[in-house]
Structure 1
Amino acid sequence: MRDAKSSATSRRNLLLGTAAAGALFAAGCTSNENNDSDGNSKPAANTADDKPGKEVTIGFAGPQADHGWLNAINEQAKRRAKEYQDVTLESTEGSNDTAQQIGQIETLINKKVDVLVILPADGKALTQVGLKAMRAGIPVVNLDRVFASAQAYRCWIGGDNYGMGLNAGHYIGERLKGKKNAKVIELAGIDNLELTRQRTAGFDAALKNYPNIEKVGRQAAEFTVESGQSKMAQLLQAHSHFDALWNHDDDQGVGAERAIKQAGRDDFLMVGGAGAKRAMDTIKADNTVLKATVLYPPTMAASAIDLARALGQGKGVGGLAELEIPASLTLYSAVVTKDNVDEYLPTGFS
């Protein structure tokens, strides 16, 4: 599954919503030059846009599609590349095996691609191959799971795991703020992953703002349907009453919802995580305990292709005054509810 930077680093990164990020890459309206006398600014000469430009070959080394979110990452990257007439995508077979992925990336380096987009199976273990690419003059866009050295990539783009927990906690807190002695439970992901610890830390931090709420239970699952069902069943058995559940991942949420249905429970609200289309459809129907999901948008892969194209063409990002693309972009973890689900449904993944 996904890995992440420390929450402190995330706080320093530029925060962008997915819609805003798309607008930045597509627009070409920000100027680095003085305004004309009529008050209109000139488009920056180095701004990336949709018009065909210099041909760019992008090497993409993504994950094995053994999870809905990971499959969406691969699909988003391939779909975005096809939208550009000037982009050729050299894509490897997805792999979660570190040695195999290193070999795949070395093959792309030997092919002398113009730019690399890499979602590493293990950021620390693949740092050296990222450094190798950068030393060979091939800029690297590091996607989500971060390398151990900033020298191994030109730009990092990814999600905000701490922000996911924070926003889930605030949503639940606002829903329960008028309730005395409210109780919440948490169905986490894999505890030995930093991303899971960050999501829990953000959730706990948000709940501190609501003294009427107590977290009374937590189980760590494994981002699978089966684990979601078994761990949720344990939580339900241990807690005869609670008011809200935060589940870190919509895929394991399928199992959690099965356990909830089997137990005949509907006395609490549930918040999911990641932004699966199935979850959004359920939220829109508004006929189960699932009332919201907090995004960890796989659209970051499409934005990574935008960044790689801009790097290959020596251009900046539309909508920003800087001549160069930023070194780091953290996407915002929006909360999707029945009130805004139609806006986010197109980003939902299967």
Structure 2
Amino acid sequence: MKNKILASAALLGAMALAATGCAGSSGGDGGGGDEVVTVGFAQTGSESGWRSANTESMKAAFSEENGFDLIFNAADNDAAAQIAAVRDFISRGVDAIVIAPIVEDGWDDVLQEASDAGIPVVLEDRTVTASDDLFASWVGLDFKKEGVMAGEWAAETFGDTPTKMVVLEGTTGSAPANDRAEGFDEAIAGTGIETIDSQTGDFTRDGGKTVMEGFLQKYGVDGIDLLYAHNDDMALGAIEAIEAAGGVPGEDIQIVSIDAVKDGMQALVDGKINFIVECNPMLGELAAGLVTDVLAGDEVEKQVYVEDQSFDQEAAAAVIDSRPY
């Protein structure tokens, strides 16, 4: 299986994306000529700032101006509804399907149905456990590496110091939740960091706030040294809970998060989050390029990885005004 790594800087504009040539076409012409390409896109929902930026990137890339007719569905984090949406795309005879899978499991049957109908599938953002023979390509981030990067910061910051940590997990069964947990745990092995509680906030700000309120009621501000949030939105909700409990986020409880969306970066600049690992949402041009190449019969990479960055307060302050998300 061939893999490809793309620098995240190349994702910050369509011109840079096209220049890389890493996903073939930049998505500017949906397959060649004047023919309109109909694409069904099954999105997870609109649970976070990251997801909203990802959706806008996809809609911009699969635009009418670029030769596409996009049929968009957001499943509100309901895996069964998302699979039903994909089946609807198949019944409508779309030219290609793009999926951001809510969870990893349960995709074998519907992907086989798409294959039997001769409709290629490109996965974006998240992965599935189904055979990779059932989809043409995947484009996204290395979630485990993101967890490792966050964990390395925690290991360096706390070392052997006894540290009580709570975790706000992403959607149960999702690739980013699974991989970010695994990577972080590997990075902090042998340190003084102890996970005293871990629950899902479902990647939402409200979920992060609610779960953190429960942690604070159980342990108190003084009983928690570190929060690891699987995304910025949950961290931002947790900040509200910490402040409501009389604590100072970033000081009384240090926070490490993943995504680097605008609100999260601002919290980092303000000292309320201590470290953020980026998860770049601007995947639309790459996904459109893959669809175009697959429909043209060109060989494509099976996995297209986008490189992530990480930020402390100083680094965030230097770039926050120039970032598109």
Aligned counterpart for 2:305 among listed residues 330, 341, 344: 330
Question: Quick one: distance in 1 between partners of 2:19 and 2:72?
Answer: 30
Give the SS at the match of 1:219. Answer: strand
Question: Quick one: distance in 2 between partners of 1:103 and 1:191?
Answer: 19
Q: Is the 8 A contact 2:104 2:173 kept in 1?
A: no
Aligned counterpart for 1:289 among listed residues 262, 266, 272: 272
Give the SS at the match of 1:260. Answer: helix
- CA radius of gyration, larger in: 1
1:146 match: 128
| Matches for 1:164-203 after TM superposition, within 5 Å | 164-177=146-159, 181-190=161-170, 192-193=172-173, 195=175, 196-203=177-184
Aligned counterpart for 1:27 among listed residues 15, 19, 23: 19
Question: Quick one: distance in 2 between partners of 1:248 and 1:116?
Answer: 28
Counterpart AA for 2:211: K
Question: Quick one: distance in 2 between partners of 1:227 and 1:166?
Answer: 24
Displacement of 1:148 after TM fit? 1.4
Displacement of 1:189 after TM fit? 1.1
CA pair 57-158 structure 1, distance change in 2 beyond 3 A: same
2:137 match: 155
| Matches for 1:2-151 after TM superposition, within 5 Å | 13-20=3-10, 25-27=17-19, 47-49=24-26, 52=29, 53-54=32-33, 55=35, 56-82=37-63, 85-95=65-75, 96-143=77-124, 144-146=126-128, 148-151=130-133
Using the TM superposition, name which of 101-110 and 288-297 deviates more.
Answer: 101-110
Aligned counterpart for 2:292 among listed residues 305, 309, 325: 309
Give the SS at the match of 2:252. Answer: coil
Question: Quick one: distance in 1 between partners of 2:81 and 2:28?
Answer: 36
| Matches for 1:210-289 after TM superposition, within 5 Å | 211=191, 213-223=192-202, 224-236=204-216, 238=219, 240=222, 243-262=225-244, 263-265=246-248, 266-284=251-269, 286=270, 288-289=271-272
Question: Quick one: distance in 2 between partners of 1:25 and 1:175?
Answer: 35
Q: Is the 8 A contact 1:297 1:347 kept in 2?
A: no
Q: Is the 8 A contact 1:188 1:200 kept in 2?
A: no
Displacement of 1:121 after TM fit? 4.0
Counterpart AA for 2:286: S
Question: Quick one: distance in 2 between partners of 1:49 and 1:198?
Answer: 29
Counterpart AA for 2:309: A
Q: Is the 8 A contact 2:164 2:223 kept in 1?
A: no
Displacement of 1:293 after TM fit? 1.7
Displacement of 1:238 after TM fit? 2.0
Counterpart AA for 1:174: E
CA pair 68-264 structure 1, distance change in 2 beyond 3 A: same
CA pair 230-93 structure 1, distance change in 2 beyond 3 A: closer
Question: Quick one: distance in 1 between partners of 2:71 and 2:21?
Answer: 32
1:37 match: none
CA pair 91-244 structure 1, distance change in 2 beyond 3 A: same
Question: Number of paired residues?
Answer: 308
Question: Quick one: distance in 2 between partners of 1:107 and 1:197?
Answer: 29
Counterpart AA for 1:87: G
* TM-score of the aligned structures, taking structure 1 as reference length: 0.74
Question: Quick one: distance in 2 between partners of 1:51 and 1:191?
Answer: 33
Q: Is the 8 A contact 1:166 1:205 kept in 2?
A: yes
Counterpart AA for 1:172: A
Displacement of 1:74 after TM fit? 2.1
Q: Is the 8 A contact 2:26 2:289 kept in 1?
A: no
Counterpart AA for 1:60: F
Q: Which runs of 5+ in 1 are unaligned?
A: 1-8, 31-45, 316-323
Q: Deviations over 1:159-211 (max 9, x none)?
A: 3222222110112233345xx62525132315842543432221121113x64
Displacement of 1:154 after TM fit? 0.6
Question: Quick one: distance in 1 between partners of 2:81 and 2:123?
Answer: 18
Question: Quick one: distance in 2 between partners of 1:75 and 1:97?
Answer: 20
Using the TM superposition, name which of 239-248 and 139-148 deviates more.
Answer: 239-248
Q: Is the 8 A contact 2:169 2:199 kept in 1?
A: yes
Displacement of 1:13 after TM fit? 5.0
CA pair 219-61 structure 1, distance change in 2 beyond 3 A: closer
